[in-house]
């Protein structure tokens, strides 16, 4: 089963690539076949097998031999891995569906943020609707916990934005208002903590390796996505571990 979930994730990852490219351009993600961005040749099924086509064609377009971004197989593999790990934690149950859709949205958000330093409102809105829908029909948290998570997540980032005067984007704030509903209070705090720590590390590496200049903005969406993902899947164990470690329990 885990293998099937991984392969399914690879296929979904291929669709997420389409979303990452098309959503910021307001293009449809449902119709229209994939084309090589270089020669515009319509790609056929053998060109679109996740990861394998890229490896088999040695990272080049079959028709014009232009290099294909390694980002495509990366997103596919990452999504496969994400699906596999999620399944390992939740098992086969409704919660798996809730998380897989949420994490897929986060992958799209993270990579659009990397590309364009924006988090499209329609994606945040989809996260919000997804979160509220589950909260209504299949709640895992009390409404109080859910709303507290939302207020904490959005509120803390809003405070950071006000204090740092532009260091935090509006999209990040809105994303945490929405994701907080799914996380609840404790997991929201953990997600933010993980996002800030990984963001500081990631930012430091980007500066040290010269990939980013000091004044260049570093998108925070990918780090929030990482924090949300880890907090949802392993939050309880991490919080437990921390409490034991600090002697609070």
| Cβ proximity to Zn ion, 47 vs 172, nearer residue | 47
> Which residue from 2, 4, 39, 97 is in contact with Zn ion, where contact means CB under 5 A?
39
Handedness of CA 209, 213, 215, 218 (dihedral sign): negative
Binding flag, residue 38, Zn ion (CB under 5 A)? yes
The contact mask relative to Zn ion for 72-111 (x = CB under 5 A, - = no) is ----------------------------------------
Binding flag, residue 60, Zn ion (CB under 5 A)? no
| Cβ proximity to Zn ion, 61 vs 123, nearer residue | 61
| Cβ proximity to Zn ion, 2 vs 64, nearer residue | 64
Choose the binding region for Zn ion from 39-47, 107-115, 139-147, 212-220 (rule: CB under 5 A). Answer: 39-47
Choose the binding region for Zn ion from 29-37, 91-99, 120-128, 214-222 (rule: CB under 5 A). Answer: 29-37
Inter-residue contact 119 to 113 (CB < 8 Å): yes
Helix (H, G, I), strand (E, B) or coil at 67: strand
Choose the binding region for Zn ion from 21-29, 31-39, 114-122, 146-154 (rule: CB under 5 A). Answer: 31-39
> Which residue from 4, 52, 64, 243 is in contact with Zn ion, where contact means CB under 5 A?
64
Binding flag, residue 69, Zn ion (CB under 5 A)? no
The minimum distance between CB 60 and Zn ion, in angstroms, equals 8
Cβ-count burial 213-231 (b if 16+ within 10 Å, e if not): eeeeebbbbbbbbbbbbbb
**Maximum alpha-carbon separation in the chain:** 63
Binding flag, residue 63, Zn ion (CB under 5 A)? yes
Helix (H, G, I), strand (E, B) or coil at 12: helix
| Cβ proximity to Zn ion, 41 vs 237, nearer residue | 41
Inter-residue contact 231 to 153 (CB < 8 Å): no
Distances (CA, A) of 216 to 101, 207, 212: 32, 10, 6
> Which residue from 10, 20, 61, 176 is in contact with Zn ion, where contact means CB under 5 A?
61
Binding flag, residue 71, Zn ion (CB under 5 A)? no
Residues β-bridged to residue 35: 42
Inter-residue contact 8 to 83 (CB < 8 Å): yes
Q: N- to C-terminal Cα distance for the chain?
A: 38
Choose the binding region for Zn ion from 55-63, 78-86, 148-156, 162-170 (rule: CB under 5 A). Answer: 55-63
Task: List residues binding Zn ion (CB under 5 A).
Answer: 36, 38-39, 61, 63-64, 66
């Amino acid at each position: 089963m885990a293998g099937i979930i991984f392969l399914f994730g690879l296929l979904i990852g291929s669709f997420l690539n389409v979303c990452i490219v098309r959503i910021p351009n307001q293009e449809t993600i449902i119709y229209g076949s994939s084309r090589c961005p270089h020669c515009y040749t319509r790609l056929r099924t053998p060109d679109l097998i996740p990861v394998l086509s890229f490896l088999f064609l040695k990272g080049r377009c079959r028709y014009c031999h232009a290099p294909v971004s390694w980002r495509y197989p990366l997103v596919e593999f990452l999504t496969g891995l994400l699906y596999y790990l999620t399944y390992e934690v939740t098992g086969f149950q409704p919660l798996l569906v809730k998380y897989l859709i949420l994490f897929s949205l986060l992958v799209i958000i993270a990579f659009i943020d990397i590309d364009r330093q924006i988090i499209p409102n329609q994606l945040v809105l989809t996260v919000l609707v997804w979160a509220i829908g589950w909260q209504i029909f299949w709640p895992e948290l009390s409404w109080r916990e859910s709303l507290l998570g939302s207020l904490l997540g959005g509120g803390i980032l809003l405070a950071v934005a006000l204090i740092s005067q532009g260091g935090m984007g509006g999209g990040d704030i809105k994303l945490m208002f929405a994701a907080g509903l799914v996380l609840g209070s404790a997991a929201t705090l953990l997600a933010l903590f993980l996002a800030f720590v990984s963001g500081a590390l990631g930012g430091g590496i980007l500066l040290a390796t010269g990939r980013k200049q000091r004044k260049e903005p570093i998108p925070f969406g990918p780090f929030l996505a990482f924090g949300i993902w880890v907090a949802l899947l392993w939050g309880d164990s991490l919080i437990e571990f921390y409490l034991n470690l600090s002697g609070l329990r």
